[in-house]
Amino acid sequence: MRHCGLRRVKALKKLGPVLFHLAGVLFLKYSILFAQMEPQALPDVAVFYDSRLQPYVECRLWIPKEFFFYSKKPAFFENSPKAEVLWMFFRDGKLHSYDKFYLSASFGSADSSQALLDVKRYYLPPDTYAVELVLRDVFAVDSQAHITWRDSIRVAAATPGTVQFSHLDFLSDVRKTDSENPSGRYGLLLTPQFHEIFDDNNKILTFYTELYGSATAVGAGEKLLLRCVFREFLTNRMVKGFGLQEIKEAADVIPWLASINLASLPAGHYLLEVEALNRAGTTIARIARYFEHRGSALANWDELLQRPPLEFIEKVNNPDTLIEYIRSLRPIANPVEARVANNVLRSGDYNLMKRFLSSFWENRAPEDPEKAFLEYRSRVTQAQIAFGRCKMRVYDTDRGRVFLQYGPPNHRAERPLEPNTYPYEIWQYYDLPNQKNRIFVFYDYIGGCNTYELLHSTALSERRNDQWQNWLQRGRRPIDIQATQTPAQSYGSMANDLFINPR
């Protein structure tokens, strides 16, 4: 299908004035996340509903200055960088609609934190779509600045009598705007945050969501309670002291914008859970989103370490065994627990080690800490037999860590002898905490001693490498693989097939 000018295929041609473009170009400044990685463009898609409860897809694109090929040349600031953007929507494997356009910007200084934000909205018929973005630096040589990104999204029609939330957005900026601005929401211009990491430099979590259909479900003007809480990601336990609630009147669309201070939240992995409750206290809608906090706050471990050891821990008198028990907790300890464990080990105080082990397992399994301890020790033994490496304990290996943290995979495909790839394994988990159908790819590029390392995963908070197919190929050095290079697999490899259909 050929593109000509700003031509759309049939579905998008009909949009006319309801195809909204972000007014102007915003330059954003991010102080975290990209400090230790080469900045790349970050796309995102989300589904919202308008005031008539018609669904639309919002496509966001964040392009850092460094994406552009000429950003390192002195003349860069004298010439406007230009990006070619192509959004495509596939339905049942066929191209349904697309939008191709160009973005230009003038970066007026050498400030490396500048970036370009573009937001567009597309009305699509209810269905499940494969979304593809092709982004190209117009002035780049060959494919030095070329990105292809794919995702899937479900566009559902609003169901009468059903209450539901929109996408849950984290925001980096909120500003008032003209109520007629098509890119605004209820008088606000909201800048999405393109990551889910917060630290001591980013202590305020600001979120936005919309609740749809409550007027029909409970009656216009009826009171609703909107509330949010934090939950530990791996245990689903609610975190005390963090949460908000607000009373709203039922309406077709209820926007909710709120902020929570994370300064006293211990480092760890969490869920922000938002729910709506009717007058009877029944939850009528719920949505959640993962985030990671890298702050320096500590839980009340000083108090916990004053408790006497549990009886089954008190019986452990071998210092080396105590040290091994604490070290083996690395795969399942949260960041705060890991920090405390390191301090306890450095102290050399064996009684303190016993109290730490007791507190750890009491927190994890208060109903039966000894049973949980013994089950974990059994899993460590299994992992050591299966995945142990030369001169390295299994909990310090990638396969061992994943096995101990998540348990045995539902499917494990082992491919040690493909002709043109390094030995690799692909693991599939049907269910992980708050996740479904997650894949892990391990490979052994060194050879010998069972030296498999995690190359790529689709699980939250795990290592992600969109070039993993290229990294699997023998003879390919990481330095030779461009971050924007189109992934490919070598002849005779089953990696893509096993990734899509593990068995």
pLDDT tens string 188-227: 888 899 888 898 888 899 999 999 999 988 888 899 999 9
Alpha helices in 19-177 (DSSP H): none
Q: Can you give the pLDDT at residue 272? A: 95
Provide the 10 A C-beta neighbour count for residue 426. Answer: 25
Record the pTM.
0.68
**Within this chain, domains 1-157 and 158-296 share the same CATH topology:** yes
- The DSSP symbol for 141 reads S
Task: Report d(CA 418, CA 412) in Å as an integer.
Answer: 16
Q: What are the backbone dihedrals phi and psi of residue 445, each rounded to the nearest 5 degrees, phi first? A: -90, -5
Q: Can you give the pLDDT at residue 392? A: 84
For residues 434-453, one letter each, b for 16 or more C-beta atoms within 10 angstroms of the residue's C-beta and e for the rest, the string is bbeebbbbbbbbeeeebbbe
| Helix pair 369-387, 398-406: axis angle to 10 deg | 150
pLDDT tens string 384-441: 998 887 778 999 999 999 999 999 999 999 988 888 888 999 999 998 887 889 999 9
Q: Can you give the pLDDT at residue 237? A: 83
Which residues, 6 or more positions from 153, have their beta carbon under 8 angstroms from its beta carbon?
A: 45, 47, 57, 128, 129, 131
Residue 148, both tokens: 């292809």
Domain 1-157 carries which CATH code?
2.60.40
Rg (CA), the chain: 26
End-to-end CA distance of the chain: 36
Provide the 10 A C-beta neighbour count for residue 353. Answer: 23
**Positions of the chain with pLDDT lower than 50, given as ranges:** 1-38, 76-77, 111-112, 479-485
Q: Can you give the pLDDT at residue 30? A: 33
pLDDT tens string 295-308: 776 656 666 777 88
Domain positions in the chain: 1-157, 158-296, 301-386, 409-500
Q: Can you give the pLDDT at residue 255? A: 95
Alpha helices in 247-349 (DSSP H): 301-304, 311-314, 319-327, 335-347
Q: Can you give the pLDDT at residue 388? A: 83
The CATH T-level fold of domain 158-296 is: Immunoglobulin-like (2.60.40)
